[in-house]
Amino acid sequence: MIPRATTQDNVSHATMVRRVIGCVAMFFAAVGVATAQTPLERGSYLVNAVMACDGCHTPRGPSGFVMEQRFAGGSQAWDTSAYTVRGSNITPDRETGIGTWSDSEIRRSLTEGVRPNGAPLAPQMPFAFYKILTPRDLAAVVAYMRSVAPVRNAVPPPVYKAAMHAELVPGAEKPFTDEALRDPITRGFYLATIAHCMECHGRRPDGVQDYKHALGKGGYVFTGPWGAAVTPNITSHPKSGIGAWTDAEIKRVLTHGVSRDGRAFQQPMARQAYFSRMIDADLDAIVAWLRTIPPIE
Ligand code: HEC
Ligand code: HEC
């Protein structure tokens, strides 16, 4: 009996060691992801899995994005009382895109919302949400944008009609450090910010962003050719919000674009094409952060 027990102990000890080594490796794989990748790989991940630039900058056809015209703009338009704008051509085409802009000019447009000539961009371009980008991630996004194919497509110029205001996201007004992203909740906030979740989920029913009183509260109605969709309450409230949902149910919202009951979401939240590419550790981080949103009835 004793030898058998010893053998078993040895086996389970060896298994434990393997598990611990496995966990340590997974831990480094998760936290080291920003450093182990090349800038181009990191930029591709951020643009394609998290920041969803295609949604506003890639022309849409009857069967989805027209990938031969990727990032050539012109198709999505927004008409508000302050501006009429279209997603710009952000390919490296030198005449109709941003091919002549320097890296620092592109960085400035992404985080400060100004063109090289100093003209402001409409806040439809979520630059207020990109101020939080770490210097490394900002450079990675620029490197990726420079690597895409140039496409010639002249987009009608924007029309600005009134003063434009971009609401800053509390806690996200300046660049984060790579160090800070090691903490899952902080990383969740970071990822949710650059995915501009709160542009939609931080609005009051009248559409005004109010991160202090309406964070996650919902009630704003999005309308489009596809119909209408109301932002639901995504605070941690157990009844009105998503406080009672499991982690898996919340992750499924992001990766499959369906609600808890399996209903497919309308266009504003049909973001699964992007978010399903996120690594699990990042999805977990977003869920961890969502759970910290104070409950609102
Ligand atoms: C929610 C929609 C939206 C998303 C998401 C978005 N943009 Fe934009 N972007 C716009 C609009 C609209 C404009 C034009 C604004 C204007 O003309 O005032 C713009 C302008 C720009 C410009 C300035 C180009 C020029 O010629 O003026 C750059 C560069 C840019 N976006 C890059 C990006 C990148 C890179 C991403 C993803 C990391 C991104 N955008 C995500 C809507 C968006
Ligand atoms: C462009 C606006 C927009 C953005 C950006 C957005 N959402 Fe949503 N979200 C919505 C709308 C609208 C719905 C409801 C869709 C419907 O009912 O068809 C929704 C639904 C949800 C739900 C489901 C809640 C429920 O009760 O069914 C969750 C959770 C959620 N969003 C979280 C997020 C997170 C996290 C992000 C960022 C990673 C995000 N959303 C980005 C507009 C948006």
- Verify whether ligand 1 is closer than 6 Å to residue 197 (CB atom): no
CATH dotted code for 183-297: 1.10.760
pTM of the model: 0.91
- Verify whether ligand 2 is closer than 6 Å to residue 242 (CB atom): yes
Residue 288 has pLDDT above 90, yes or no: yes
Compute the average pLDDT of residues 191-202: 98
Identify which ligand lies nearest to the alpha carbon of 226.
2
Helix H segments across 54-129? 54-57, 103-112
- Verify whether ligand 1 is closer than 6 Å to residue 126 (CB atom): yes
pLDDT on residue 27: 46
Residue 28 has pLDDT above 50, yes or no: no
pLDDT on residue 33: 53
Give Cα separations from 212 to 92, 184, 199, 217 (angstroms): 39, 23, 13, 11
Question: Which residue has a Cα nearest atom 33 of ligand 1?
Answer: 53
Residue 170: pLDDT band with limits 50, 70, 90 = very high
What's the CA gap between 219 and 203, in Å, rounded? 8
- The gap from C-alpha 134 to its chain's centroid, in whole angstroms, comes to 14
Instruction: Return the best residue to mutate from 76, 125, 269, 272 for the ligand 2 pocket (most ligand atoms within 8 A of CB).
Output: 269
- Verify whether ligand 2 is closer than 6 Å to residue 285 (CB atom): no
Which segment of 11-20, 120-129, 204-213 scores lowest on mean pLDDT?
A: 11-20
- Verify whether ligand 1 is closer than 6 Å to residue 122 (CB atom): yes
Identify which ligand lies nearest to the alpha carbon of 230.
2
pLDDT on residue 35: 57
H or E segment and range at residue 254: helix 247-256
Expressed in angstroms and rounded, the spacing between residue 226 Cα and the centre of ligand 2 is: 16
